[in-house]
Amino acid sequence: MKEQTEVRTLKEGRYVIIDDEPCIIRSLSHSKPGKHGSAKARVEAIGIFDNQKRSIISPVTQKIYVPLVERKNGQVLSITGNVAQIMDMNDYSTIELTIPEEYKSKIEVGKDVQYLVAMGKMKIDIRV
């Protein structure tokens, strides 16, 4: 799911959709309006699911889509290789997610983990 907003309302650390991929904003800069134009904004972001760097330059009054990112809690039921089976703590549904390399030592069976859900994709995300 996504909603529409103006580029001027974006902030660092928030989310934005660039090239149909949800991204987290790393830097945001505005330029002054010129003699014959409007103020521009440069947005640099990193993809949530693919960690690819993306950027856009657009007028601050232009509409842009922002993804609705949900942070959910789940309990690890089992681990097979680099795949964890997680039970959602709200509706008790089970999902299987791949474990990122940086979290392999932190994820254990029976422990709670957080995961992100955005635009039909899911990812384990542990905040330190």
pLDDT of residue 101: 85
Calculate what percentage of the chain has a pLDDT beyond 70. 98
Residues 46-102 pLDDT 10s: 999 999 999 999 999 999 999 999 999 999 999 998 899 999 999 989 999 998 888
Looking at domain 70-124, its CATH class is: mainly beta
Residue 112 Cα distances to 20, 62, 64, 100, 125, angstroms: 30, 41, 35, 16, 11
> Which residue ranges make up each domain of the chain?
2-67, 70-124
Closest CA to 72 of 15, 33, 19, 118: 118
Instruction: Yes or no: say if 26 and 44 are a contact pair by the CB < 8 Å rule.
Output: yes
Asked whether the domain spanning 70-124 has the same topology as the one spanning 2-67, the reply is: no
CA distance between the termini of the chain = 27
Q: What is the DSSP string of 35-50?
A: SSS--EEEEEEEETTT
What is the pTM for the complete model shown?
0.81
Give domain 2-67's CATH number out of 1.10.10.10, 3.90.1580.10, 2.30.30.30, 1.10.287.3510. Answer: 2.30.30.30
